Amino acid sequence: MTKKQNSYPPTNEEATILEYFRKSITQKSLYHSYLFVGADSRLLENLVQHISQSLLCLQGAGAPCQSCQACRKVKERIHPDVWISPSILENKPLNISEVRDVIGEASLKPWEGNYKVFFLPHAHRMANEASHALLKTLEEPPKHSIFLLTTETTNSILPTILSRCQVFQVGSLGNQETERILIEEDKLSPSEAAVISRLSEGNISLAREIHQELWEARPRLLEILCQEKDPLALGEALHQFCGNKKGRKSSKEKAKALLTHLSSLVRDILFIQSHVPAEKLINQDYLDSLQKVARLHSPKRIESFLDFLLEAQHMVDCNVTISLIWENVSMYLSSDTLR
């Protein structure tokens, strides 16, 4: 949805989501917060643009006419009732000062339309401080405000934020279909297929990558996360895995995959601490061990570890030497911060 980008016609899946919004708008049954999960950020931006148009179109039919002044303004990104995170052009997540802007803006009445729409991208990379500030607004949303969040993955999003949003998977086959393909075509066991499809959030190519590149490191990750002694072993194990020549991925890609998976384990621990039902967990096969870790640490500490893992993912993006990152992870785990 950058200014110069041409938008393309809705895909079938988009059409289904837009139809859902058409009904919700015309029946006045909208929620305040929606989260769109998908790997293709352009697809997500395009979808958010069409939903914003649906909400603000002057024809009032709950679908974008693409020709009224409101639809055009949304497309040009000059509609006063659409707040778009300034960080989006730099591919950055929302920061705390932007969240304060959102809160201030949301308290005002719409200028031209019936709603104030907030587009908040990269929710999976939002730091805890920003997430918590945003959460207060999501919990008690101003009457006219609609929050449209997008994310690559829900693995590192705070459970409290997730529980406030209606979640849509975009551009994926969905968990059940992915699970079926993994069992029937890739000959995985049903229990493996179930975890991998949840980890990949219904994205079959990502699921296959996880199986090829990450699967063997998984028990070791959990083992180290659970043990109380020798946390330095985690850094060591992570480092070894990334240096391993097996598989097609670079050590940077492997490091990111490992950190994402570690985040999913830590997020599950937070879910357990928040008494979320077990069927909502990604790593359900590790329930006993995760419950044990959940009892050992306070939610605040687990949350701060999740924040730290996000920071580590950011360091990988910024090309910080991988071994230095693992050293940091090890030091973090061996400090009193987590225990």
Nearer to Zn ion, 75 or 124 (CB): 75
Strand 33-37 to 82-84 pairing: unpaired
Site for Zn ion in 58-117 (CB under 5 A): 65, 68, 71
Region for 161 from its dihedrals, namely left if φ exceeds 0, alpha if ψ lies in -120 to 50, beta otherwise: alpha
Indicate the residue among 52 and 169 with the shorter CB distance to Zn ion.
52
Smallest gap, in angstroms, from Cβ of residue 119 to Zn ion? 18
CB of 71 to Zn ion, least distance (A): 3
Which residues of the chain form beta strands (DSSP E)? 33-37, 82-84, 116-120, 145-151, 166-169
Give the nearest distance from C-beta 32 to Zn ion in angstroms. 22
Please identify, using beta-carbon distances, which residue of 39 and 68 lies nearer to Zn ion. 68
Nearer to Zn ion, 26 or 166 (CB): 26
206 contacts Zn ion (rule: CB under 5 A)? no
- Taking the complex as a whole, the smallest distance from the CB of residue 206 to Zn ion amounts, in Å, to 36
Dist CA 16 CA 14 (whole Å):
5
Strand-pairing partners, residue 150, are 36
Pairing of strands 33-37, 145-151: parallel
Contacts of residue 262, defined as CB under 8 A and 6 or more positions apart, other chains included, come to: 221, 225, 309
> Whole-number minimum distance, CB 52 to Zn ion, in Å?
11
Residue 13: CB minimum distance to Zn ion, A: 22
**Toward Zn ion, which CB reaches closer, 30 or 68?**
68
Where in 3-62 is the site for Zn ion (CB under 5 A)? 57
Residue 265: phi and psi, rounded to 5, are: -65, -45
Please count the residues of this chain forming the interface with Zn ion, following the rule CB under 5 A.
4
Min separation Cβ 69 and Zn ion, Å: 8
The alpha carbon torsion through 54, 60, 65, 71 (nearest 10 deg) reads -60
Residue with tokens 């958010």: 48
What whole-number distance in Å separates Cα of residue 31 and Cα of residue 334?
43
Nearer to Zn ion, 67 or 91 (CB): 67
- Please, which residues bridge with residue 167 across strands? 35
Q: 75 or 218, CB closer to Zn ion? A: 75
Q: Give the shortest CB-29-to-Zn ion separation in angstroms.
A: 21
CB of 5 to Zn ion, least distance (A): 19
**Cβ atoms of residues 42 and 88 within 8 Å:** no
- For 54, 66, 143, the CA distances from 58, given in Å and listed in that order, are 9, 10, 20
Burial code of 6-40, b = ≥16 C-beta within 10 A, e = fewer? ebeebeebbeebbeebeebbeeeeeebbbbbbbbe
Nearest CB to Zn ion, comparing residues 75 and 211: 75
Give the DSSP letter string of 107-118: TSPPSSSS-EEE
Residue (76 or 336) nearer to Zn ion, CB? 76
Q: What is the binding site for Zn ion (CB under 5 A)?
A: 57, 65, 68, 71
